[in-house]
Amino acid sequence: MLLEGKVILVTGATTGIGEATARRCVAEGARVMVHGRNLDRAQAVCGDLGPAGAYVLGDLGDPQVCQRVVAATVERFGRIDGVVNNAALTTRSNLETTDPATFDRIIGVNLRAPLLILREAVPHFRRQGGGVVVNIGSINALSGEPNLLAYSAAKGGLMTLSRNLANALAEEGIRVNHLNVGWVATPNEIALKEREGLPPGWQHRVPPEYAPIGRLLAPEEVAAHVVFWLSDQSAPANGVVYELEQYCLIGRNPAKAF
C-alpha cells in the first residue's frame, strides 16, 4: 500500500475530490483527518472509514480554524505526515462583481488558508524529519474563465505558493507539489451547473471539445493522482505543477476542422 502508516490531513474532505482522496488514502493504508463544515457529511464519511478516520469541522476563512485542523490531527493520531489542501470556494465573480468582500473571502479560503495550515504543519514535519504537501489547484490558474476572476487569481497564487515553499523547504525533506485539476464531475459541480441552467444529466452529455474521452474526470481519478504525489513513490519530485486534464492545455485549439 502506498501510504502505509502515514497520517494525512485532507481539507474539504466531506464531498467531491476531498472525500474521494480521504477514502483512497485509507485504502492505501493511511489514517486520515477529514476536514469539512457539515457535521452530517463528516460523520458519514468517517463512519465508512472506521478507526482510520476522524473529523474536524470549521470554516477555513477563520485563521484559528487553520490552526485547529492541524492540532486536531496531531492530537488524534500523534503525528502528521502529509497535507492535502483541497478546500476551496468556487464563487462566481467577474471584474464588476468582485467587490472587496468577495475577493477577500475567496482569497482567505483558497489561498490564505493553505498558507496558514502549512505554517502549523511544517514544524511537525521538521520534528519528524520530513513531510509532504499536495495543493489542489485548478487549470483556471493559467488564465481562468471570465466569471471566475477571484477564484482564478487565488489558484494562481496557490500555484506560486507551492513552488515557493517547495524551494524553501526542500533541504529539510519536505516536498510540496501541486495539481492543477481540470473539469471534474463532483456532486457540487453537477448541482451548480443545474442551478445555472443546464438540464439534469448534463454531465453525461458534455461535448467532445470539453471531454475528448466522452466524460468529465471523476473525483476518484483525481484521488488516485493525489495519493501518488503523497506517496514515497513520487519522491524526490518537488515543486512540480502537474496539470490533470484530458487534453493538453498549451496551444490547444478545440475548434473542429472546416
214 alpha-carbon distance from chain centroid: 24
Residue showing cell 502506498: 2
Name the residue with cell 501541486: 178
Nearest to 216 by CA among 190, 196, 198: 190
Of the candidates 234, 132, 250, 244, the one whose C-alpha atom is nearest the C-alpha of residue 180 is 244
Q: Which of helix, strand or coil describes residue 153?
A: helix
- Known active-site residue 151: yes
d(CA 172, CA 170): 5
Pinpoint the alpha helices (H) of the chain.
Answer: 16-27, 39-49, 63-77, 100-107, 113-128, 149-169, 187-195, 219-230
Residue of 140, 171, 183, 145 whose CA lies nearest to 158: 140
Partners of 184 in the β-ladder: 217
Cβ-contact 98, 46 below 8 angstroms: no
d(CA 252, CA 102): 32
**Residues pairing with 42 in the sheet:** none
Catalytic residue among 151, 210, 242, 247: 151
Helix (H, G, I), strand (E, B) or coil at 78: coil
Residues carrying an active site annotation: 151
